[in-house]
Amino acid sequence: MGRDIDIEVRHLTRVEGHGNIYLNARSGKVEKVLWEVDEAPRFFEAMVRGKSYHQLSHITSRICGICSISHSLASLKATEAAMGVEISKQTELLRRLALYGENLQSHTLHVGYLVAPDLLGAGSVIPLVKTAKEAVVKIVGLHRTANMLSEAICGRATHPITLEVGGFTEIPTERALLGMREELENAKGVCTDVAGVVLAHADRLPDFTRETEFIALTNDENYAFYDGDLGSTDGGRWPVEEYLSITNEYVVPHSTAKYTRHNRESYMVGALARFNLNHAMLSKEAMEVAGMFGLKPVCHNPFMNNVAQLVEIMDSLVDSIGIIDELLDRGLEEESGEIEVRAGRGVGAVHAPRGLLIHDYTIDGLGNCTKANCIIPTNQNHANIQKDMEEITLT
């Protein structure tokens, strides 16, 4: 017996950003499934025109509150590439730490605050304070540690202050880094505990698979976050400057966010994409977390993105400790260098917590931006979410 179903979810909750879901079925046959993104467009690519090179990262960090550090860094990398500005090894190491701080914060927020209530059968984290206090305290503690790392490097966890073209307005003290190292070391145990809580309820993660393409930065040195080429699980590796032939943005009438496609109808970016492409670069501790859940590449279940985030929380903790050791070993130095304004075009790509993020700027001889293009991770996932919803409603 087929049923008539009409579902309309307005203002989808426990997500950053705005989306609505529509589903209509007649006599058991699905007629329409639609993922609508009705968020007001903000026109960042238009508004940065004419702005000075040193303002660009400060303006574009405001695209995303949760991933303001990766927007700043993609912006700075694009600006530096356009003007031919070199950065020091110390700056690169500190920037990688900043990205890890953000990744830890965002993943903990996602798994702990947004997803855990579903696993534990609550509407939000607030009632969990009563029913699962121990788990909540751990999640909050991990979230605080993550923000402390971002604040130690960037001056502020959201909309970083110290990141600037060519380097930093201020660098952390060795003492601050030592204190941070201890926090991160303790957080590894907390991460395992939180993974344990998720594992105990992992049967609630839907067993759903739809084969798709995964795209992420990839390099031969580490689990790519700050740098790399573009890679695909369908095969292929391209320099980031060729991103336009990978992302192929297009506009659909039911979304103010642009969609993208590459080899197939859709592709996915984010923690699962990175895991699928770069798992060989993960630390032993992170692979242990993957092992707890039996997560293996290439995994095509989008719900396992939550597990990939747990794996990355551990990896970000381990790698951050390694970077702090390297920084302390080298000794921190105040650096200063004059920035020379030069005309050019530059592409900067980093991994935001939710996936591949690209900024592309053209800068004129006065140091003003004349053209900008930003490719946002979430936008690259919209077509994939739509295709997943179409498939899941058939089952």
Partner 1 sequence: MKPRVAFFDFASCEGCQLQVINLEEKILDLIDVVEVVSFREAMKESSDDYDIAFVEGSIMRPMDEERLKRIRKNARILVALGACACIGGVNRLRNEWSVDEVKKEVYDEADIEGNRLFDVFPTKAVDEVVDVDFRIPGCPINREEFAKVVAHLAIGKEPRLPSYPVCVECKKNENICVFELGKFCLGPVTRAGCNAICPTHGDGCEGCRGYLDDPRMEAAKDVLRKYGVSFDEMMKRFNMFNYRKGAI
With binding defined as CB under 8 A, does residue 13 bind partner 1?
yes
Phi, psi of 19 (to 5 degrees): -150, 150
Q: Which of the ranges 15-23, 84-92, 211-219, 313-321 carries the binding residues for partner 1, by CB under 8 A? A: 15-23
Shortest distance, CB of residue 196 to partner 1, whole angstroms? 21
Query: Based on CB atoms, which residue is closest to partner 1, 100 or 168?
Result: 168
158 is a site residue for partner 1 (CB under 8 A): yes
Q: What are the angstrom distances between the C-alpha of 120 and each of 91, 139, 208, 373?
A: 41, 14, 20, 41
Phi–psi pair at 370, nearest 5 degrees: -110, -20
The contact mask relative to partner 1 for 40-79 (x = CB under 8 A, - = no) is xxxx-xxxxxxxx--x--xx--xxxxx-x-----------
Using CB under 8 A as the criterion, what x/- string covers residues 259-298 for binding partner 1? ----------------------------------------
Nearer Cβ to partner 1 (46/394)? 46
CA geometry: angle at 58 spanning 56 and 60, to 5°?
Answer: 65
Q: What residues numbered 76-115 form the site for partner 1, per CB under 8 A?
A: 109, 113-114
140 binds partner 1 (CB under 8 A): yes
Interaction between residue 255 and partner 1 (CB under 8 A): yes
Sign of CA dihedral 284, 277, 18, 68: positive
Smallest distance, partner 1 to C-beta of residue 362, A: 13
* Beta carbons within 8 Å of 152's beta carbon, 6+ residues apart: 101, 172, 176, 177, 180
Q: Per this entry, what is the length of the chain?
A: 395
Q: Which of 8, 26, 124, 335 binds partner 1 (CB under 8 A)?
A: 124
Q: Does the protein bind partner 1 through residue 254 (CB under 8 A)?
A: yes
Size of the site for partner 1 (CB under 8 A): 60
In angstroms, the CA 76 to CA 349 distance is: 10
Whose Cβ is closer to partner 1: residue 57's or residue 278's?
57
- 3-state class (DSSP) for residue 156: coil
Distances (CA, A) of 49 to 200, 362, 369: 51, 9, 5
**136/324 with CB nearer partner 1:** 136
Position among 29, 156, 237, 330 found at the interface with partner 1 (CB under 8 A): 156
d(CA 41, CA 155): 29
SS3 153: helix
Q: Are 264 and 212 in contact (CB under 8 A)?
A: yes
251 contributes a contact to partner 1 by CB under 8 A: yes
Residue 159 binding partner 1, by CB under 8 A: yes
Least Å distance, CB 343 to partner 1, is 17
Torsion angle, alpha carbons of 186, 191, 197, 200, to 10 = -120
Determine the Cα–Cα distance for residues 182 and 206; give it in Å rounded to an integer: 37
Choice between 36 and 312, CB closer to partner 1: 36
> Is the omega angle on the peptide bond into residue 350 within 30 degrees of 0, that is, cis?
no
Binding site for partner 1 (CB under 8 A): 11, 13-18, 38-43, 45-52, 55, 58-59, 62-66, 68, 109, 113-114, 117, 123-126, 129, 140, 143-144, 147, 155-159, 161-162, 164, 168-170, 250-251, 253-256
